[in-house]
Amino acid sequence: MRTNPKALTGLVALGFFALMAVVGPWLAPFDPSERSSALLQPPSAEHWFGTTHLGQDIFSQVLAGTRSVVLVGAIAGVVATVLSVLVGVTAGYLSGSAGEGLSALSNVFLVIPALPLIVIITSSLPETSNLTIALVIGLTSWAWNARVLRAQTLSLRRRDYVEAARANGESAWRIILFEIMPNLTAVIASGFVGTVLFAVVSEITLAFIGVSDAGGWNWGTVLYWAQSQQALAQGAWWWFVPAGLAIALLGTALSLVNFGIDEYVNPRLRNRFSMPGVRMRVGFTPVLPQDPKLAQKLETS
């Protein structure tokens, strides 16, 4: 992992967002909801990202909103990952109708469109807070990982070392926890990162259509106000560009971490051996001349 620049870049960026989630609300130069007389101002030294139609400071809104985004992403990610491990590994390890039933359950949740489902549940709830939104997203988005984990467990279940453990009389729990789970770590980690990305985009989307934590800020709420106040028609590009870029950067950071995990699990995806001038043909081992003179001769020929 240390030698993988993609994963390292992603982790550094994630660390930055996590830091902002903690200190962002204190760093914000203004109260994000406070109105002022500077209405719809473009970016300036005082208001880095400009102001809204009520004179609110957009830089403060984006900073203060990071906390809600990171919090919902993390909680939903943990809830969905725990559920997917429970359902996926059990479905893979159990044979017969119990395993089939759990597998059908995760397929059902996979096929039902998640976003409309999250929208009808959250808008029917008596109250919406960051916690309830995170829980709804977590409880509805575990199916993909469960499916991946089930497939992986199915292939591990009949391996020799698992058979050996079974022959030794180890209990099913011990086999699952100590023989199978350690080999699923990378899959679980990559599933967690993917779910966090999905949860973040879902929360922002929900806020954009008007379902969000009452009184709180997140990047989607900023975009919601930009859209409902016709920021585009008024040429106020600064109103929606920073929040959108923040989403894209966080999303890219998460994807980079996931690429790192993918390449760690599947060495075929690694690019480390590619060199300029050498066209890698997969399936063939490129033989490189060691002698620099010979190499030069080959290149000029």
Which residues contact other proteins by CB under 8 A?
A: 104, 107-108, 110-117, 119-121, 123-126, 144, 197-198, 201, 204-205, 208-211, 223, 226-227, 232, 237, 240-241, 243-244, 247-252, 254-256, 259, 262, 266, 268-269, 271, 274, 278-284
Query: Locate tokens 């993909």: which residue?
Result: 144
Residue 151 Cβ, how far from other proteins at the closest point, in Å?
Answer: 11
Q: Is 225 helix (H, G, I), strand (E, B) or coil?
A: helix
Rg (CA), the chain: 25
Give the DSSP H/E element, type plus range, for residue 174: helix 172-174
CB of 287 to other proteins, least distance (A): 16
In the complex, minimum distance from the CB of residue 118 to other proteins, in angstroms, rounded to a whole number: 8
DSSP string, 126-147: S---HHHHHHHHHHHS-HHHHH
Q: Please say which residue, 32 or 194, places its beta carbon nearer to other proteins.
A: 194
d(CA 74, CA 197): 9
Residue 51 DSSP SS3: strand
By C-beta, is 104 or 295 nearer to other proteins?
Answer: 104
Smallest separation (angstroms) from other proteins to the CB of 46: 24
Instruction: Provide the angle, in degrees to the nearest 10, between the axes of the packed helices 58-93 and 5-27.
Output: 130
Least CB distance to other proteins at residue 174 (A): 33
**Cα(212)–Cα(74) distance, integer angstroms:** 17
Q: Of the two residues 94 and 114, which places its CB atom closer to other proteins in the complex?
A: 114
User: Which of 186, 200, 185 is closest to 76 using CA atoms?
Assistant: 200
Q: Which is nearer to other proteins, 116 or 182 (CB)?
A: 116
Distance in angstroms (rounded) separating the CA atoms of residues 49 and 43: 5
Closer to other proteins by CB, 18 or 280: give it.
Answer: 280
- Between CA 191 and CA 172 the distance in angstroms is 24
143 with 106: CB under 8 angstroms? yes
Nearer to other proteins, 237 or 264 (CB): 237
Least CB distance to other proteins at residue 116 (A): 5
Tokens of 81: 């990952």
Nearer to other proteins, 86 or 241 (CB): 241
Residue type, 153: T
Tally of CB atoms within 10 A around 179: 18
As measured in angstroms, the least distance from the Cβ of 127 to other proteins is 8
The closest of 25, 160, 138 to 77, measured between CA atoms, is 138
CB of 250 to other proteins, least distance (A): 8
Q: In the complex with other proteins, which residue's Cβ is closer, 134 or 211? A: 211
